[in-house]
Chain A
Amino acid sequence: MIKTWELDPGFKDEIMKEPGGEHLTSCYQCSTCTIGCPITELVPSYNPRKIIQMSLLGMREEVLSNPDLWICLICQTCTARCPQDVGISDLLSAIRRIAEKDEEAGKLKIESPRPLFDTAFLHTVEKYGRLYDIGLAMEYYPKREGSFIAGQKAMMKDYKDFGMRMFFKGKMGPLGGHGLLKGVLPSKIKNKDVMKKIFKWAEEKEK
């Protein structure tokens, strides 16, 4: 049952203020997004149409704590098929960012490790200007597992075989003749100051 007295009528405006969330109220609930979604096929609870309707109703808490927010692939199938140009892929991204802000403010606990992964990824970009896979994993796994040791174990479990494959195929490390420590050390851009400026600006814009 929807507790009407707990609804947040300002939630839709909050979403529409976020870049990507602008077209929320164009949705007329046809469900084309959900019928064609490859995730819905695998995880039947996943229902972007419902997330949109709940957002329009102002069910802020239920929407932001919905674990399904974090299994969207951003594959753009919904966006391509939506007859109302809601831009659902970007809209869900806007909702995820609101959830992340709530978590930062201590109002919400996100169970999915996806924000940790995204953050670790972007940290390497901010630092080096390019993605550094090993740096990403070294930050992500310990944070996800809650300790350095547990993180190393989880990383080894996921990436030991993969790492060996990359090594023997000459994609990471000395084999193949593309540089002795290719992929092992970060690839850095020269103009690192501009990365700092870009990230600082984008962070300010998010506030």
Chain B
Amino acid sequence: MSVTKLAYYPGCPSEATALEQHISTEAVFEKLGVELVEVEDWNCCGAAEAENPMLVYALNARNLAIAERASLDIMTPCSICYYNLARTANALKEDEKLNAEIKGIDSSLEYNGTITAKHVLDVLVNDVGLDELKSKIVKKVNIKIAPYYGCYISRPPGTAYDDPDDPVSMDQLIKLIGGEVVPFSQMKTLCCGGPLMMTRADIAYDMARNILDTAKSAGADCVALACPLCGMMLDAKQADIEKALNIKIEMPVIYITQLLGLALGIDAKELGLEKNVVDTKELLGKVV
């Protein structure tokens, strides 16, 4: 295992709507013996709402710079935060003039390109590594799982770390913990609709329903995911989708860090499994 210490960028949803993702990420890395140092006084990445890339670069330069001063690569559990951190790192490395200009805003924005941004799933599968994870697994997560990657793990090409059409990192992790991956390849990387949730809920609900329905007809016990906005859409809003479309879905949606945590023998409560909105209790009986 090459990684022992990382800067941890939790992102805004970690403080409320995606609390369980945050808790389970911390619990998993503690169990793996990887120290996470929270990026001190971190700020929002701008998410998808900052359409001006200059604003994204300046906001994320600060977070990158804080991690760089501690000489640590920066890791985040949120796919949008990951995209914004990673594209900022790329832009500031490639464009010296832009980097100088951003440094000019405030000295705390000085990023010299010596550390990189990583997504939690990438760190787990590719840095900690499947062999290391395997050696620490104590339980079999005997669950049928639909692996849902969403957008920024495999797109766009400049920042993605997995295959754009058929990403595999989550599939590998699910198989490793004893889960069964249900056929889901046509849905894996389809957008959850999250960015339109507040302005065109009709479209957003349709997209989320499509993903959840497909998981259900593929025989999944739950959907696994790696992004808090996908979690908001597929889990926290699932009851709203059911109500608006007059359907029943009742599909548990669980963060991949929670599933891995169970396999590592971490207590369900420490992984925040009572905080997922669609009930996960029934599934816990299948962890043996």
Chain A positions near chain B (C-beta within 8 angstroms)? 19-20, 38-39, 42-43, 70-71, 73-77, 79-81, 87, 89-90, 93, 96-97, 112-114, 117-118, 121-122, 125, 129-131, 133, 140, 158, 161-162, 165-166, 169-172, 176, 178, 182-183, 187, 189-191, 194-195, 197-199, 201-202, 205-206
Contact = CB atoms under 8 A, between A and B. Distances in A.
Interface residues of B, number: 58
Given A71-B203, A183-B17, 19 more contacts: A19-B54, A76-B156, A80-B157, A89-B156, A113-B198, A114-B199, A121-B49, A122-B55, A130-B44, A131-B44, A162-B236, A162-B240, A183-B16, A187-B12, A189-B43, A198-B55, A198-B105, A198-B109, A199-B55
Given A129-B44, A201-B58, A117 B275 contact: no
B195 to A, nearest CB: 5
A171 B17 contact: yes
A198 B65 CA distance: 14
Interface string B1-23: 00000000000110111011000
Majority-rule SS of B interface residues: loop
Contacts of A114: 199
B195 A166 contact: no
Interface string B25-52: 0000000000000000111101111111
Interface of B: 12-13, 15-17, 19-20, 41-44, 46-55, 58-59, 62, 105-106, 108-109, 151-152, 154-157, 160, 164, 189-191, 193, 195-196, 198-201, 203, 206-207, 236-237, 239-240, 243, 274-277
A96 B54 CA distance: 15
Contacts of A71: 196, 200, 203
Given A42-B203, A165-B277, A206-B54, A194 B106 contact: yes
A70 B203 CA distance: 12
Majority-rule SS of A interface residues: helix
A80 B58 contact: no
A117 B191 contact: no
Given A39-B203, A166-B17, A183-B16, A75 B191 contact: yes
A133 B17 contact: yes
A162 B237 contact: yes
